[in-house]
Each structure stands twice: as structure tokens, then as C-alpha cells.
Chain A
Amino acid sequence: MEAVALKDRENQIHVKGEAPFNIVCNKDSLAGAVSQRACVFCGSRVVLYPIADALHLVHGPIGCAVYTWDIRGALSSGPELHRLSFSTDLQEMDVIFGGEKKLRRALLELIERHSPKAAFVYSTCIVGIIGDDLEAVCNKVTEETGISVIPVQSEGFKGNKRAGYQAACDAMFRLIGTGDTVGISKYSLNILGDFNLAGEIWMIREYYEKMGIEVVANITGDGRVDDIRKAHGAGLNVVQCSGSTMQLANMMEEEYGVPSLRVSYFGIEDMSEALYDIARFFQQKYPDDPEADRIMERTKALVQEKVRELVPKLEKYRKALAGKKAAIYVGGSFKAFSLVKAFRLVDMEVVMVGSQTGTEEDYRELEAITDPGTIIIDDANPLELNSFLTEKGVDIFVGGVKERPIAYKLGIGFCDHNHERKEALAGFEGMLNFAQEVYSSVMSPVWRFVPRNQEK
């Protein structure tokens, strides 16, 4: 097989052990490279999407709105406004004469029809070019309707997904601080960066409640506008996932003094660590309050109970999967760390790991926790992914919908670990689901028929 990387991308790939660590990242995707990455708009849409009682209006031509219509698995325990796809559906005349009037009328119409708690208006590529003043229109409609209408500056071409996260955080930050915080416990937290895929946040919330900690707002999963308004009253921000909501946590720390902890809910190790970190945080903050110690005790009991339950159930999968090879390519690199550990837990070997948006620091850490020979890759494309998968003889590939057909064409198992998935993979229960899913793909008899295995 020929050299895999595009010429200008060679420095975005690193093989552990072959050379001193050196990887270039956070670059714009190369033109013509068929990057797996999305855009600013996508980044902001992902983060804000699960706020279920807000109206999410995409200001632009129809495409952007349709392609993001209900593609995420983020569940709501109540309203489901987020699952509808609203668009101003800009037409040629709007592009020529400006879309502000249409936007205003669309907002008025939709607010009347759905009475949302707030509205987010996303700008798309074209809106940035025609120069509609989103801010002005939103302010005006806020005045007219009394409903917070918040612009999201997410023109697609203004950077990559990360810039979209920032735009979303800016938008959310406008809500924070506008609600009443009376009565919130000092042992309380906000959940950031979990999108409640397949109800994961309900599990996580339950852990916190068992620990004796109040959850003020699940900002990005099963989210509610009113909760977010008072999120600044919480004692701690717990941020899961690498990029998406860290900025928001930082902004809250600066403005309201709410500290934050970065965690991962994937795999036993990281999940337990997250809970202990939180308990420890409160112990350190309130060293003289016996309640803080009680929280720690309850946390220990919880983790022990969950692990005791889980480990024997994993045994079957471990036996079957030991020595099999895995490759990981996900959006955020933080998730990649957990996945590396989770595969170790079932005795599997990770031979390739990469992400769309990792930072140098992230890749450094990945290189530290992986085995020699592991390929570490930033912003990959189908041709590169394909050549690494075949070269390494992978048994399962973890990625998102765009990665799936690459694996399947080659006759390789696949596990969907993206926003689109419909299986809960977080938490202790999620680890079991993960093992089960990997098992059911790797062990399926269908692989015996694929060309890869027929030749032998």
C-alpha cells in the first residue's frame, strides 16, 4: 500500500516509540482532504441542542438545519422542542436584500406557536456574508415578546468545531446569572458536557444524588433554561468531555467564582475517579463539616457497590475479547483517553487512536498512556483511516457515523461512540453496555464471510 498521509499532513500523525513526540494540530483542515470534521455551526449546535425547552432556529438556507435535525441521541425528560428542526430557509431574495426581516417574523411566529423558555438563533455561513445583524434582531424580539432570544455566532467558515463550542458557551453564558439561587445547597454542582445520550445523564444524576449532592443544572443534557439561569449558584462545575464546555466553566469561574473539575464518565476507572474527585473537592472545601466526610463515605460505598456488581459481569467479555485489537477515532480527545483505558479493562489492545479536535497537550497525554507502536493521529480522513485499519489488522473500530462504512467495507467490527449513538455508554452501567457492544460486533459470525477472512 502506498504512503498514507497527504503530504501536508505528515506532521499530524505520530507513532509512539518511533520518534520523539511531535504532532501538529488545531490546524484548519486541508482543502481537498475529505476531513471527518464539521464546522463552527455544528460545534455550537451540538452543545446547545439538548436544551429541550428552548427554540433552536437556524438562520440560513435549509441544508444546515435539515442535516442536524434530531441526529443526536440526547433525551429529554419533559419538553422536546429541541428535536424539531427550525429554519428561516433563506431564499435568493433574502440573500440579496438581507434576511433580518424574515428572521424577525420567523421568530415571532415560532415563539407564538411554541412558547419556548428562550430562543437560540444560529448564524450559518451565508449569514456572515450577507451581514445580517443578528444581535439587533434578537434584542428587538426579546423586547417584543419578553422571551430571551440569544444569537449564536456560528458562521461555519469562521474556524472549526472548537470555535463553535465557544460560540455556544458565549450564548449560554448570557442566561447564567439571571435566575434566583436562593435555597441551593453548598454541596451542589452543575453537569457540563454530558449530552444525555440514551439517558446517560439520568444515571449520572442518580450517582450524585446518592452521594448527597444536589444537581442544579444539567447544562448540556436534558437541559432546561430556568436551571441554566441559576447555574451560577452551584458549588462546583463538573465538566465531562474535552472541549465543548470547558470555556463555559472558565467563564463561570471568572465571573461567579464557581470552580470546575474535569472528568470523564467512560470506563470504571474514570467514572470512579470522577466521583472521588468530587467528594474530595467538597472535603477540601469544607474540612470541618462532617457532611463532607459523609459524602465521601457514601461515594466509597456507591463505587464499591457498582464495581462489585460490574466486574463479574465483565468477565465473559474479557475472556472473549482478550488480545483483540481496537482502533479509536473520535471527535474529542478526552473521550479517547477513557476509551484506551476501557479497552484495557477488557484486555484489548489499542493500536490506533485519534481525534478531530485534540490539542497538543491531549496528544502528549495519549502518547503517554498508549503502548509503543500505537498510531496517534489528528484530523484524519477516510484514506488514512482505512490504511491504518488494514495495516494494523484491527478487530474493532470506535468512531461515529462517518467512520462506520469505512470499517464495514473492510469487514471490521464497529462501535458507535458519537453523539448519534442510541446506547448509553457512560457510567458503570455504560461500561457494561460498551463491553457488550464491542463483544457483539467482534464476535459476530458474519466476519467469517468477508473477503479479509476468506483469503486465509
Chain B
Amino acid sequence: MSKKHPDYISTTNACKLCKPLGACLAFKGIEGTVPYLHGSQGCATYMRRYIISHYNEPIDIASSSLSEKNAIYGGGPNLKMGLTNVAEKYRPAMIGIATTCLTETIGDDVPMYLKEYARDTEGSEGLPEFVNVSTPSYSGTHMEGFHGAIHEVIRQKAEGGPQAETVNLLPGFVSSADYRLLKEIMAAFGLNSTMLPDLSETMDGQALLEYEKIQSGGTPLAAIGAMGRSKATIEFGRTLSGEESGGLSLQKKFSINNHRLGIPIGIEETDRFFELLSTLSGRPMPEKYAKERGRLVDAYVDGHKYLFGKKAIICGEEDLVVGMTAFLAEIGVFPIICASGGTSGRLAEAIAEVTGDMLSGQPAIYEGVDFFDIAEVAETLGPDLLIGHSKGYPLARKLNIPLIRVGFPVHDRVGGQRILHLGYSGAQQLFDQVANAFIAKKQADSDVGYSYM
């Protein structure tokens, strides 16, 4: 069972966002880059607001601010004026341009406009680089927008040449804390790597004396250029499209081996990642991580009784759902519903791969669903726990079960960007949270109120 169910026509409380938002987030992880939406003013403002509520960080998204006239005669002039204004005011290294439903429908040809713009501005100094991605919001979700942007950045900016010892890492959309951890792990294996994107600092920055027009951090443009000369690519995402991805495009164009893994959530998926790193670096797992793993196994044992047989609903972006399902399966929590607004067609298969023989049965897997659908099924199944982003809160409240907040967006807590999901340390935090959520619920529901477990 992997299709939308039941077959409703409308969407109520969607479990996905629109494509351009994903593209903006991806661009935000590139050094010196300003995301730019070719569309009307509203979209950009909405997305900024939405993203700010998760990160509590400034995010400037420029817009062509198209009006009715532009919608009829085409948005080219506004796009060019907008690019000039951003270039003057922000002095960016790059502007990442994403289209919207409006400009896709009126058929604006952004690559052509960019060519014209290059001709018009020839010889001018201080012009940024441009990269563009087509993100019609009436197909797919923000995740396609995100991966689409990464794919286009690589396609348009990576260059070939003599091979170097570097490794490309394309982690997909994870938290700022996750990106930080990944950088640290790569370094610990002695690997010289380029991670794209890198939202570790741009969307989780420091308090400042002087406001930065463009937040520091992000993948350097030069490093992106050099990605075409790396010796290997690691790409997270078991539900990624078969044909188009950053990793595959590097493989096709520059014959760089692409290793596709699941997002390393939980012990097994993390083991797979570390094994690959060992192979690529020729080094064993650094002691620090071996110890982390050991402590994690110890914790799994300490807490297993509170978890076994509990039933969980997991919802969110497809690859995150796959990772969370893998993690829950290995700690003995039974995933009864795995749901996503995405529609890759690969969710069920990916979940079967990661759960292997750990589950006694198969969870119900739904693609392309919204929270109304999820609620309908959930109510009949008596779940104990919901794992997902903040938009699941109304459902958790209705079912009177705890919500463990993961992924994006986290709008009703502080620190969404600091949630660690990946690696052994991420699994450790998730494990403690899940176990304690059950214990706390038992305490809260009990008349006695024992203070020992």
C-alpha cells in the first residue's frame, strides 16, 4: 500500500511545501548567495516568514515583485532590474534564481533572460554569478525544489580537470546541527570534502555587532567548481529520483563514483555511512565515534523495555521518514504509519530496504497524503507516539500522544535548527527523547506518580 489514501480531491493541512521554498533553502547554503524568486512579491515574503519561524535567523529572499502588467507582457525586465538591485545592494558572490508557479505558467524563459542580461552587462565590474532552477510549484514538493537546486548548481558550476583527493558530500535537507556534525565526521576521517549545501552557519549564526547582509558560511563557490574533480560523491537519499541528482550528474559528466546511501539516522544507516567513509579514506572508524556507538548501544539496552511494541506514526519529508523508520525499527518501536506529502514512488521500497527483517509486519506507507488523511487512518490504529515536524501537533494533541519534533518546520519550539538527527550522537539524542517521552507520559497519566522508573 503506497499510494495516496483515501483518494481525496482537495488537500487539508498539507504535509509538504512548494518547490521554490526548497530551492531557496538550498541556495542559502552556498557562500555569498542570495536566493531570488522570479515571481510576485507574496511568495518570497511568505517563504521568508515560514523559514524564519523555524530558524529564527534572517533570511533575505529577493523577488521580481511581478505585477499584473508583467504577468501579461513577461517578467524579463523586472527580473533584470531585480538582479541589478540585488547585485548593487548585497554585493553577492552568486544569485540563485528559482521560478514560481506564476512565471512558469506565463512561460518566462529565465535562461534566455540571463543570457540577455549577460550581454547587456558585459564588461561591468562586480557582477555576481548566477544559477537558475525551474521550480513550478504545481508539481512535486519543496524537496524536489531543494534537490533540483542542488542538481542545477552542480550542473551549471562544477568543472572538470585533473582528479583531486576530495570527496563530495550531498546530504540533502537536514538541520544546521546535522551539517555541522557531518563536516566534523568527514574531517575526523581525514577526508578533504565539499559538502553542498552547508546551512550550518548561514541558518544558525552568531549574535553580531554589525548585521551581515549575507550570512557568512555556506559552501564556497570555488569548492563547488572543484566538485567535478573529486574522486567520489556521497549522496544521501533513498527516495531520490533515479535520473536527476547532483551525484548522478557528476557521475555522468565527470565519471565520479556516486555512492547513494540513506540519511544516516539510527545505528544501521550510520554504520553504512561510516563503512563507506572507511573505504574512501582507508582509515578505521575514529575512536571517538566507536565510543559514541558503544554508548548508544548501551543506551538502547538500558531503555529497551520502555519502547518495545509501542506504535508510532512518522511523517515528513520522504527521506527523513525512511531514516526515522529505520531508527524506530531498531529500537523496537513499531512504525504503524509512514506518511509523506512527497510522491517519489519509492517510499515503500526504501522503507522495506532499511527495516529488513526487524519488523514483524509491514507498516502502512502513504505517499502524497495530508494531515487529514493521516488523522483518519491514525485514529483507528491507536498510536502511542508521533514523530514528525510541528505541523503534526494538532494531530498529536487530538490523539493525546507525545510529538517528537524532527525535521522541518519546527514552529512551536525554539532551536529547530539545532535538533541533531544524524550519526550515533543524533540517534542518542533521539533515543533519549523517545524513551523519556514514554516515561513522562506514563508518569503524567498515573494516579500514583512514582519517581523511580
Q: B211 contacts A63, CB within 8 Å?
A: no
Known: A31-B78, A32-B82. A86 touches B65 (CB 8 A): no
Q: A residues within 8 A CB of B16?
A: 62, 66
Q: Which stretch, B5-13, B229-237, B254-262, B273-281, touches the partner chain A? A: B5-13
* 25 contacts across the A-B interface (CB closer than 8 A): A29-B65, A31-B79, A32-B62, A32-B65, A33-B89, A34-B44, A37-B45, A39-B43, A39-B45, A42-B45, A62-B17, A66-B16, A66-B50, A67-B46, A67-B47, A85-B12, A86-B10, A87-B10, A88-B11, A90-B138, A102-B9, A125-B101, A390-B211, A409-B205, A410-B208
Q: A residues within 8 A CB of B66?
A: 157
Most buried by A among B14, B57, B70, B100: B14
Q: Is B41 an interface residue (CB 8 A)?
A: yes
Which of A64, A105, A450, A452 lies in contact with B46, CB distance below 8 A?
A64
Which of B42, B83, B136, B141 lies in contact with A38, CB distance below 8 A?
B42
Q: A residues within 8 A CB of B137?
A: 61-63
Cα A165 to Cα B391 with chains together (Å): 28
Q: Is B387 an interface residue (CB 8 A)?
A: no
Question: 8 smallest A-B Cβ distances: which pairs?
Answer: A39-B42, A63-B18, A32-B82, A32-B85, A31-B82, A106-B10, A67-B46, A451-B209
Q: Is B53 an interface residue (CB 8 A)?
A: yes
Q: B residues within 8 A CB of A34?
A: 44, 60-63
Q: Which chain A residues in 19-61 approach chain B with CB under 8 Å?
A: 28-42, 57, 60-61
Q: B139 contacts A91, CB within 8 Å?
A: yes
Q: Is A180 an interface residue (CB 8 A)?
A: no
Q: A residues within 8 A CB of B63?
A: 29, 31-32, 34-35
A residues with a Cβ closer than 8 A to B are 6-7, 28-42, 57, 60-69, 71, 83-92, 94-95, 102, 105-106, 109-110, 124-126, 128-130, 155-160, 382-383, 386-387, 390, 401-402, 404-406, 408-411, 449-452, 455
Which of A40, A124, A159, A402 lies in contact with B49, CB distance below 8 A?
A402
Q: A406 contacts B58, CB within 8 Å?
A: yes
Cα A249 to Cα B325 with chains together (Å): 54
Q: A residues within 8 A CB of B90?
A: 383
Q: Is B444 an interface residue (CB 8 A)?
A: no
Q: B41 contacts A37, CB within 8 Å?
A: yes
A83 CB, min distance to chain B CBs, angstroms:
8
Cα A69 to Cα B49 with chains together (Å): 12
B322 CB, min distance to chain A CBs, angstroms:
22
Q: Which chain B residues in 190-237 approach chain A with CB under 8 Å?
A: 205, 207-211, 213
* Further contacts, 17 of them, CB under 8 A, given A29-B63, A31-B81, A65-B11: A32-B36, A33-B65, A39-B40, A65-B14, A67-B17, A69-B13, A86-B10, A92-B139, A125-B40, A157-B67, A404-B52, A404-B56, A405-B52, A408-B207, A411-B207, A451-B208, A455-B209
Q: Is B26 an interface residue (CB 8 A)?
A: no
Which of A85, A156, A160, A406 lies in contact with B102, CB distance below 8 A?
A156
Q: Is B125 an interface residue (CB 8 A)?
A: no
Q: A35 contacts B46, CB within 8 Å?
A: no
Cα A39 to Cα B67 with chains together (Å): 10
Q: A residues within 8 A CB of B42?
A: 38-42, 64, 125, 156-157
Cα A406 to Cα B59 with chains together (Å): 9
Which partner residue on chain A sits nearest B70 by CB separation? A157
Q: Is B421 an interface residue (CB 8 A)?
A: no
Cα A411 to Cα B81 with chains together (Å): 33
Q: Is B86 an interface residue (CB 8 A)?
A: yes
Q: B17 contacts A66, CB within 8 Å?
A: yes
Q: A35 contacts B45, CB within 8 Å?
A: yes
Known: A30-B85, A37-B45, A156-B42. A125 touches B64 (CB 8 A): no
Which partner residue on chain B sits nearest A9 by CB separation? B85
Q: A6 contacts B89, CB within 8 Å?
A: yes
Q: B residues within 8 A CB of A88?
A: 9-11
Q: B residues within 8 A CB of A61?
A: 18, 101, 137-138
Which of B43, B55, B83, B210 lies in contact with A63, CB distance below 8 A?
B43
B190 CB, min distance to chain A CBs, angstroms:
35
Which of A35, A89, A405 lies in contact with B11, CB distance below 8 A?
A89
Cα A231 to Cα B207 with chains together (Å): 50
Q: B41 contacts A38, CB within 8 Å?
A: yes
Q: A residues within 8 A CB of B101?
A: 60-61, 63, 90, 95, 124-126
Q: Is B120 an interface residue (CB 8 A)?
A: no
Q: B residues within 8 A CB of A405?
A: 52, 55-59
Known: A62-B16, A125-B101. A409 touches B58 (CB 8 A): yes
Q: Which chain B residues in 71-95 approach chain A with CB under 8 Å?
A: 71, 78-79, 81-86, 88-90
Q: B residues within 8 A CB of A386?
A: 211
